[in-house]
Amino acid sequence: MKNAAKYERAYFMPPEDCYDWVKKEYITQPPTWCSVDLRDGNQALIIPMSLDEKIEFFKYLVQVGFKEIEVGFPAASETEYDFLRALIEQNLIPDDVTIQVLTQAREHIIRKTFAALEGCKKAVVHVYNSTSVAQREQVFKKSKEEILQIAKDGAILLKELAEETNGNFLFEYSPESFTGTEMEYALEVCNAVIDIWQPRPDWKVIINLPVTVQHSMSHVYACQIEYMSKHMHNRENVILSVHPHNDRGCGVADTELAVLAGADRVEGTLFGNGERTGNVDIVTLALNMYAHGVDPKLNFENLPEITEAYERLTRMHVYERAPYAGKLVFAAFSGSHQDAIAKGMKWRESKDPNHWNVPYLAIDPHDIGREYEGDVIRINSQSGKGGVAYILEENFGYRIPSKMREDVGYTVKGISDHQHKELLPKEILSIFTEKYVNIATTIKLVEVHFAQKNGGIETELTLGREGIMKVYHGKGNGRLDAISNALKRHNVLDYKILDYKEHSLTVGSNSKACAYVQLQLPDGRIFWGAGVHSDIIDASALALFSAVNRALA
């Protein structure tokens, strides 16, 4: 692309090496979570949520387990003001949940914000002003000293109004466009605010360092956070928060590395909704921790329900391949993937049921309310024998012999390819039943009798063929051998039996048995048949006749 030269570096590295975060392998405990779905996520919607929708969404966030929820910009719009007042006046805020409101560092907006908070049991008042080079020079046309004074004036006014207003207030400050700000200057501004607020162990303040726009790779942001954490005044009484956006598609990476670098708190949204490319996706962050054995302290055990509510209330769509929540993220269409997953499931069940290490599946879908049926093994023209066999066994109890799986797999795949669509489990069962089970297209077994004579088994078969009934006789070492010899004796078909398997059907009907027979014709061709009956002997006979009929066809 010809215009790359016009993009100069818009971020600033710290003035010293800050790479202690590199030594950490993974996040060992979750940060404090703050949902900004009802503010940042709402203002990014084409049609913002109504008052009733915001109340319903707030209740979902509480149900998930958020203890801090940013509810809006009450000085910005009537709906957001009314929403805040409804939460307070209708006593909808649980005692263990703290709401958060946002305000610019402008006097009339701060005053209106505190007026909206009258009577609130506990709230974080989040004040911000922009500090980046681009904002200072292009938007505000102010010097560093003037921008610093805006932050200090806002911090002073928060302190004054908190003492005058009925309620319990915590403070948060954000140097908006932090990543585009010189690190020494960002530190100076934040420390000035901290010095005004004078946090204590029993009254900590939040310093939020947002990725308002992503300018750098994620490791740069981690170094910036580590630098700020190391040099921030009164650090033990400061909660270091991050609020990453996703302009470069690195919101999750930025946040994870920032937590390694010292961040205590994360602001984000469910599924990453927010301005432009969105905020960091808290569902992904939390379940990434969960996949490392760390309880994120958020409950996504019924993620499909949460996804449905989110899509309904925001009119947004969760992408099918979005991590964890997407409808297809656990789906395996590839034959080799299906085979590995099916074998992994079997291995885990018998060898190590208390741990999860199944190929191709980062976490157990059941943990977030997903089902193996329809979610994991999905069948289309790209699928393999293992996937088809897995569907038939897990859903319907058919334990297809390993040698038969390829035959069944190609049959099902061929139909999917011809119809140009995915096949659902019930459709796969219908294909298997139609093509392999109790087939009587040419010869029908009407009646069979056995007698034990001279150390062997004799049989008398009544068969129907083209509407004509005939009685055949045969002898053998066992019942199936006797039936087979009767067919060969009367020249029905020349073949030999290569394989035979049987089992009880464990899904759907415990009273039925299933048998499988593999035949080989003199020219080498192979045919399989299956039989299902309440009696295993009859099931075996039906399996043989299914294979014979498939060969005759």
User: Is the pTM for the entire model greater than 0.85?
Assistant: no
Class of domain 31-314: alpha beta
* β-bridge mates for residue 517, sequence order: 500, 529
- The pLDDT of residue 465: 85
Given the candidates 3.40.605.10, 3.30.160.270, 3.50.40.10, 3.40.50.620, the CATH classification of the domain at 443-552 is 3.30.160.270
pLDDT at residue 508 in the model: 59
Q: By the 8 A CB rule, do 443 and 465 touch? A: yes
Q: Report domain extents, the chain.
A: 31-314, 335-435, 443-552
Residue 373 — pLDDT band, cuts 50, 70, 90? Answer: low
Among residues 79, 82, 174, 90, the alpha carbon closest in space to that of 125 is found at 174
Chain segment 245-282, per-residue pLDDT in tens: 999 999 999 999 999 999 999 999 999 999 999 999 99
Mean pLDDT over each residue of the chain, to the nearest integer: 93
Decide if pLDDT at 533 tops 80: yes
Which tens digits make up the pLDDT trace of 457-473?
Answer: 889 989 898 888 989 89
Q: pLDDT value at position 341?
A: 86
Which of the pair, 334 or 256, is modelled with greater confidence? 256
Given a cut of 60, whether residue 3 has pLDDT beyond it is yes
CA distances in angstroms from 171 to 40, 97, 99, 396, 542, listed in the order given: 18, 16, 12, 58, 77
Q: Would you say 254 and 211 are in contact if contact means Cβ atoms under 8 Å apart?
A: yes
Q: Is pLDDT above 80 for 428?
A: yes
Residue 172 near residue 100 (C-beta atoms within 8 A): yes
At 507, the pLDDT band (50, 70, 90 cuts) reads low
Sign of the dihedral defined by the CA atoms of residues 244, 248, 249, 250, in that order? negative
